[in-house]
Chains A and B, each alone.
Chain A
Amino acid sequence: MATTAPDTGEGGTRRDFIFVAATSAAAVGAGLAVWPFVNSMNPSKDVLAEATLEVDLSPIEEGQRITVLWRKKPVFVDHRAPDKIAEAQNTALSDLKDPQADADRVQRPEWLVMIGICTHLGCIPQGQRVGERLGDFGGWFCPCHGSHYDTSGRIRKGPAPTNLEVPPYSFVNDTTIQLG
């Protein structure tokens, strides 16, 4: 212990420094070692391999809504009738909880494509099948906690914070879209 620097009383000794350095290194090492465990719970590569999906629009009649499964999520495709389009376009943005113009949500007004998952807590809103509730605004209604969506899939009433999400898609030709 002859080589140990004398304790000046203000700073620490060499031994204190080594103690702090070793403890910090061990803490950083432990922190780094946690990451593989945490990251193993993130989506695996096969899940991440983004599937794209082509949807044939030609058999969908005006006023008809269909549901397709894309990346294990339901996607609503709605062939909107002119009155529904007008209703969506004529809604004042000030009436909206999550203001977004109908034109920003569609590529062609007659085709509304959205991820069919309520933005509240992830239920599938009703309105895709004949006879289901459409909610107070003629769009969709989530039965779990009572969120109402309008004919553009925008949240109008209830606990959901945002509009139904529009997935990335493109028109391959006039009657086919590709999701993803």
Chain B
Amino acid sequence: MGVGTWRGVALAALVGWPVATMSAAGPVEGTFLLVEQRYGNGDWNLASRDEPLRIEFRREGGVVAGRVWAGGDSSAASRWPAFANDAGLLPVEDVSVKEDASTGEVIARYRVRPSPTDDLVLEISESYRLVESGQALVGEMTVRFFVEGADRGGFALHRRFERER
């Protein structure tokens, strides 16, 4: 996956970005560390301790922009939203990123075609909002699976990030 590909996708996404507004908990800004990740209502925390995931949101020209990376090297960050397997990034398509003016929630929707030889399309949404104290980011990542347009199930990950900066 080359850098140019996701830049092209991100450019399309920028068109839909609204101007950020304040929420009760404040705008989603800062650097956050993934500390909890649970499937559905599951009790199990699947967040990796070895290669912790970080997500960073900042303001660029009044709109929110994000980047995400695993491990401690922020120079390896990818522009958010991004999707990857363990070999690297996968192309994301049809990206839209919105910020809910009333809640401050940041929502990204995008598609991934993981295999060129398969009909599978992933429709993914990620949404994050600050908790009242502003010290944590909570949200949900849902992945739905479509084959030839038919919904063939999916899953949801519930995530909690804690503020580092």
The answer to whether A binds B is no
Mark B residues whose CB is within 8 Å of A.
none
